């Protein structure tokens, strides 16, 4: 979401490729996995009540990261901003009050395990 992952693209640029691979492959998904595994099953009523407070920052983050990505010239920053936008889409799907939204958020979340690390590895090979 907006205030939480602003540091991520800068960390990808400064980190070595192995650090970017671990950060993109594992760490960015832990928050959504925690919501899916613990918060939603343990506190379903609180999850429903907090949905508007999750949708707004997630939508702002999607717009912000997408517009910021279009202005970047560094390949690592371009690759770093896209998982942030996609994981905000996953968050919106996860907090939707139906099973289709939750079920639809799982495939993008699991596909972001191998894809961004592979992109960072290819970015390192092209330098």
State the pTM of this model. Answer: 0.82
* 3-state per-residue secondary structure call for 73-101: CCHHHHHHHHHHHHHHHHHHHHCCCCHHH
**Residue 127: predicted pLDDT:** 54
Is 28:5 a contact under the CB 8 Å cutoff?
Answer: yes
Mean pLDDT by runs of 10 across the 127 residues of the chain is: 72 82 80 86 91 91 90 86 86 89 88 82 69
CA distances from 34 to 19, 40, 87 (A): 22, 9, 13
Query: Residue holding tokens 């592979």?
Result: 118
**Residue 106: predicted pLDDT:** 87
**Residue 119: predicted pLDDT:** 83
């Amino acid at each position: 979401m907006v205030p939480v992952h602003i540091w991520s693209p800068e960390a990808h640029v400064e980190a070595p490729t192995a650090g970017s691979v671990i950060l993109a492959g594992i760490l960015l998904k832990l928050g959504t996995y925690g919501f899916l595994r613990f918060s939603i099953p343990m506190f379903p009523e609180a999850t429903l009540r907090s949905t508007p407070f999750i949708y707004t920052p997630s939508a702002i983050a999607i717009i912000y990261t997408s517009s910021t990505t279009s202005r970047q010239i560094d390949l690592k920053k371009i690759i770093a901003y896209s998982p942030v936008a996609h994981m905000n889409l996953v968050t919106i799907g996860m907090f939707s009050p139906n099973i289709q939204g939750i079920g639809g958020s799982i495939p993008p979340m699991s596909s972001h395990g191998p894809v961004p690390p592979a992109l960072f590895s290819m970015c390192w090979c092209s330098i």
